[in-house]
Amino acid sequence: MPGTVQAIERAAAILRTLAGGPGRLGLSEIARTLDLAKGTTHGILRTLQLVGFVEQDRNSGQYQLGGALLHLGTSYLDINELRSRSINWADPLAARSGESVRIGTVLEGRVLVVHHVFRPDDTFQTLDVGTLLPLHATALGKVLLAYRAGGATAAPGELERFTRKTLTEPKPLASALEGVREAGWAVEIEEMTLGQAAIAAPIRGYGGLVVGAIGISGPVERLCDSRYRPHPHLITNVRDAARAVSRDLGAAR
């Protein structure tokens, strides 16, 4: 009979400890509880963090169960279901903003476009559904990164540069994501394509879990004022649409 894998046993014990604990736990607390060396515990925690089963609080450094763990079983949302449930709200967003709408979710470290509504000007456009976009250089991606839908994120140092404005360093990206979490929406100004901007907001499912992002994109001069700030009414449009989809998906707020 093949033997058991000790590291997996230990990982399971760590998850049980976090699940049974009062909230967040520090590294030494976890190590002491399970009588493990700190180094071993840290290695396992980092791995669990990478797959999204554990999250680390940025300020205190303490650990808690991660969002991806909640995805297991109950709240996994099929991408075609996400499209089907958003379609009624993506159309009004395109009509009100006058811009094209995309809905994205995370697939293997990138944004997968699951739904696309054309800019309502009847010009020739091609459906983008199935296209993969970079997480760090798009408004949709930054929303998904900020709330870590799907767990694992691109490792630092691998961030591709598309324009001079692309955030390729971990620090500025991390603070941008902090800003997204605070504001509840993300913006992208010429970070992916020169002259193009985008605004996106999170789509939440049961329990408030972020399952995707919805956003509009178009020329900078249409989406932003002369000081490169996105027009408030467009932000409102995007956030209203995101909330409407979230409500249909069963999110509490």
Partner 1 sequence: MTERYVVAIDQGTTSTRCIVFDRRGQLVSLAQQEHKQHFPKPGWVEHDAMEIWRNVERLAPRVLRRAGIGLDQVAALGIANQRETTVIWDRDTGVPVGRAVIWQDTRTDGLVHELSARPGAKELEERSGLPLATYFSGPRLKWTLDHTPGLRERAERGEVLCGTMETWLIWNLTGGLHVTDVTNASRTMLLDVRTLGWSPESLAFFGIPAAMLPEVRPSVGVFGTATAAFPGVRIGAALGDQQAALFGQTCFTPGEAKCTYGTGSFLLLNTGPELVRSENGLLSTVAYRIAGEPAAYALEGSIAITGSLVQWFRDQLELISSAPEIETLARTVADNGGCYIVPAFSGLYAPYWRSEARGVIVGLTSYITKGHLARAVLEATAWQTREVVDAMNANSGLALRTLKVDGGMTADNLLMQMIANVLDVPLVRPLAVETVSLGAAYAAGLAVGHWPDLDGLRRNWHIAGQWLPAMDPGVRATEYANWRRAVERTFDWIQPTS
Judged by phi (left if over 0) then psi (alpha if -120 to 50, else beta), residue 169 lies in beta
Please, which residues bridge with residue 107 across strands? Answer: 110
C-beta of 150: minimal distance to partner 1 in Å? 16
Q: Which is nearer to partner 1, 137 or 140 (CB)?
A: 140
Which listed residue (10, 24, 42, 96) binds partner 1 by CB under 8 A? 96
| Binding of residue 108 to partner 1 (CB under 8 A) | no
DSSP-assigned beta bridge partners for residue 213: 104, 202
Q: Does 79 bind partner 1 (CB under 8 A)?
A: yes
> Binding of partner 1 at residue 103 (CB under 8 A)?
no
Q: Are the C-beta atoms of residues 129 and 116 closer than 8 Å to each other?
A: yes
Decide whether 47 or 125 has the Cβ nearer to partner 1.
Answer: 125
Select the residue interacting with partner 1 from 34, 50, 75, 120 (CB under 8 A). Answer: 120
Q: At what angle do helices 6-20 and 27-34 cross, to 10 degrees?
A: 120
- Minimum Å gap between C-beta 120 and partner 1 is 4
- Label residue 138 exposed, middle or buried (CB < 10 Å: 0-12, 13-18, 19+): buried
Task: State both tokens at 52.
Answer: 């999204």
Interface pick for partner 1 out of 54, 94, 177, 216 (rule CB under 8 A): 94
Q: Write the Ramachandran bin of 136: left for phi over 0, alpha for psi from -120 to 50, otherwise beta.
A: alpha
Instruction: Examine residue 78 and tell whether it contacts partner 1 (CB under 8 A).
Output: yes
In the list 69, 117, 139, 159, the residue contacting partner 1 (rule: CB under 8 A) is: 117
Quote the least distance from Cβ 43 to partner 1, whole Å: 36
Q: Which of 28, 47, 125, 175 binds partner 1 (CB under 8 A)?
A: 125
Kindly state the DSSP code that residue 230 receives in the 8-state scheme.
B
Instruction: Give the three-class secondary structure for 124.
Output: coil
